[in-house]
Structure 1
Amino acid sequence: MTSHQPSRTHRVDESVRLFENPLLEKLSHVHPIVPLLVWGPVAIWLIARAVMVHGIGWGGMAMIGVAGLVTWTLAEYLLHRYLFHFEPKTDMGRRFIYLFHGVHHDTPQDKTRLLMPPAGALPIIAVLYLMFYTVLPYPWAEPFTGFFIIGYLVYDYIHYATHHFPMRHPALKFLKHYHMRHHFSDDAGRYGVSSPLWDLIFRTYPTKPERSDRT
């Protein structure tokens, strides 16, 4: 079924219809707790296997954990910058980008489209796991993927919180303002959500002078 890319202006908290097919439309929404319930056990299982089955020690787990989490932050940045903000030339390409990210910029406060639905995340995680399994020596791909998934979940819930919670702690407040500027001030930069690390490294932070925010 074809997807819709609405041209009218929406309220930021409105939920727009993406698919004519009711099943596909339902799958495009997700309750905030669902990714944690789906991917949390997968991450725990992969990490537990590394310790209990493969016998990886705590030192090795600490190193692979840091590697998995940092790799996630890089993947988060690259996906957001080069895929989600890609400007296609065809109608099909524009629909694809709108489905993955454009709808979020159109209605950024829609609570059911802030997190990736499992139906969309599953093939991505599967492909990434095969890549990790090919690149990393056995059995390091399993805990690496587990920590990578944890990084993804941390990102998901930081992203959700930036849109729906006040986030009074200074570090969290910084992330909230940082992401809100991406939405409402200048979307050609500030591609990190859980961390500004790669924006600093690749010089996409900031692209315009900062201004005072009361978000």
Structure 2
Amino acid sequence: LVVPPALFVALASGVYAFLSLFLPQWSVRAGWPGGMLGYIAYDLIHYSTHHVAVLDCVSHIREMRKYHMRHHYRHPLFGFGVTTKLWDRIFGTLPPSDEETRPPASRREARKH
């Protein structure tokens, strides 16, 4: 999910205004650039997870790509992590393993091979 730039600016401006109501102005101005860079980095990583296979030679990146694709195509309520499984562990959203979701007869066949 890549947010179109115009929508991103509108949403970000609203968040900035909201935070400015409750936090000291210096803290909003100090933290805002880091928050924006962090979100943009996340968006780029998420986009490349879907569309760029160049770094699949790195095992962690290849594994996280497969993990994230399972979120989209098999278990949409689980496996939200793009770069790490940490938060899925913390929030209990780790997807079931392929072994757990395979019908019993298929499990027996898989063990034979």
Q: TM-score, normalised by structure 1?
A: 0.41
Q: Who is 2:41 aligned against? A: 154
Query: Whose relative contact order is higher, 1 or 2, with alpha carbons under 8 Å and at least 6 apart?
Result: 1
In the alignment, structure 1 residue 196 sits paired with structure 2 residue 85: yes
Question: Equivalents in 1 of 2:24, 2:30: separation in Å?
Answer: 12
Describe the superposition over 1:62-118 as per-residue Cα deviations: whole angstroms up to 9, x where unpaired: xxxxxxxxxxxxxxxxxxxxxxxxxxxxxxxxxxxxxxxxxxxxxxxxxxxx52111
Q: Who is 1:136 aligned against? A: 23
Q: Which runs of 5+ in 1 are unaligned?
A: 1-113
Q: How far 1:140 sits from its partner (Å)?
A: 1.3
Q: Which has the higher helix share?
A: 2
For the pair shown, the structure with the greater C-alpha radius of gyration is 2
Q: TM-score, normalised by structure 2?
A: 0.72
Question: Equivalents in 2 of 1:127, 1:177: separation in Å?
Answer: 35
Partner amino acid, structure 2, of 1:141: V
Q: How far 1:159 sits from its partner (Å)?
A: 1.0
In the alignment, structure 1 residue 209 sits paired with structure 2 residue 97: yes
Q: Who is 2:70 aligned against? A: 181
Q: Which runs of 5+ in 2 are unaligned?
A: 100-113
Q: Check conservation: 1:132, 1:145, Cα contact below 8 A.
A: no
How many residue pairs are counted as aligned between the two chains? 97
Question: Equivalents in 2 of 1:194, 1:144: separation in Å?
Answer: 22
Q: CA RMSD in A?
A: 1.9
